[in-house]
Amino acid sequence: MLKKARTYGPPPFETAVVHGGPGAAGEMAPVAREMGSFVGVLEPLQAERSLEGQVQELKRVLEGNAELPVRLIGFSWGAWLSYLVAARYPPLVGKVILVGSGPFEEKYASAILETRLSRLGDDDRPEVESLLRILDNPATGDKHRAFIRLGKLLLKADSYDPLPSDSESIDFDADLFQAVWREGSELRKSGQLLELGRRITCPVVAIHGDYDPHPAEGVRGPLGRVVKNFRFVLLRECGHKPWLERRARDRFYEILKKETAV
């Protein structure tokens, strides 16, 4: 069943890394490669075009390839997806590690774009706003280039002291992003996203950069109220992607190694 997943390190695959986006398959490959030196890692490549489809797709990949209960390391959108699978199917998941998660309550969401735009220059800011309009317009045909360009610009805003990165290996899918994110956003607005945390029985650890435009309090506060076994780790001098941060990368991997130790 490995068509929708890649593996790193020796089996059994007790840990799975879940990419963000949605629509950024391959994004977590650098993390999976690094971790493969000390633990068997599964890298699911999400392709379903609905929220429920992505939940079921990840469930099937885990059941077919992972050593259960698995440790899920979800980044950004993948943090939410990992959280949803743990809430819906508790026997499958032994621990959830949320990296750079989006906030779990709507009141924290509006600050994200404002923070990003405030960090960009006079040339980049109007371009981001233009690209967002292109992606939001149903009449726009090929949104692929706009999605890739937007990702590059936002990475500049999201990073504190970034290391070189290779985004060419990421399989960007703008249509998938639009379809799935719309449903995820509605789930948060309704309050159901946060409420599902009460069903999670395994430990949940959130790792968050202090420079991440996604507000740390939008993760720490809400999940601290609903998840029984929850811990929050704030990384200093760190943006949205800790593995690309010069000053936080080593600490990030130290935490992951500790949290995934058998």
pTM: 0.96
Does any domain span residue 150?
A: no
Residues in the chain: 262
> In this structure, is residue 222 part of a structural domain?
yes
Tell me, yes or no, whether 239 lies in a domain: yes
Structural domain count, the chain: 1
Q: Is residue 148 part of a domain?
A: no
In this structure, is residue 224 part of a structural domain? yes
Secondary structure class of 19 (helix, strand, coil): coil
The token pair that represents 63 in the structure block: 């059941």
Query: How many CA atoms lie within 13 Å of 220's alpha carbon, on the beta-carbon side?
Result: 11
Q: Using an 8 Å Cβ cutoff, are 71 and 8 in contact?
A: no
Which structural domain, as residue segments, surrounds residue 22? Answer: 2-109+161-259
228 occurs within a structural domain? yes
**Residue 59 within any structural domain of the chain:** yes
Which residue in the block uniquely carries the two structure tokens 């923070």?
115
**Residue 78 in 3-state DSSP?**
helix
69 preceded by a cis bond (ω within 30 of 0): yes
Round the CA-based radius of gyration of the chain to a whole number and report it. 17
pLDDT in tens, the chain (262 residues): 456 899 999 999 999 999 999 999 999 999 999 999 999 999 999 999 999 999 999 999 999 999 999 999 999 999 999 999 999 999 999 999 999 999 999 999 999 999 999 999 999 999 999 999 999 888 777 788 999 999 999 999 999 999 988 766 899 999 999 999 999 999 999 999 999 999 999 999 999 999 999 999 999 999 999 999 999 999 999 999 999 999 999 999 999 999 998 6
Nearest 5°: CA angle at 205, between 96 and 148? 70
Q: What is the DSSP letter of 164?
A: P
Any idea what DSSP says for residue 38? T
Q: Which of 39, 44, 45, 43 is nearest to 12 (CA)?
A: 39
145 lies in a domain? no
Q: What is the CATH number of the domain that holds 17?
A: 3.40.50.1820
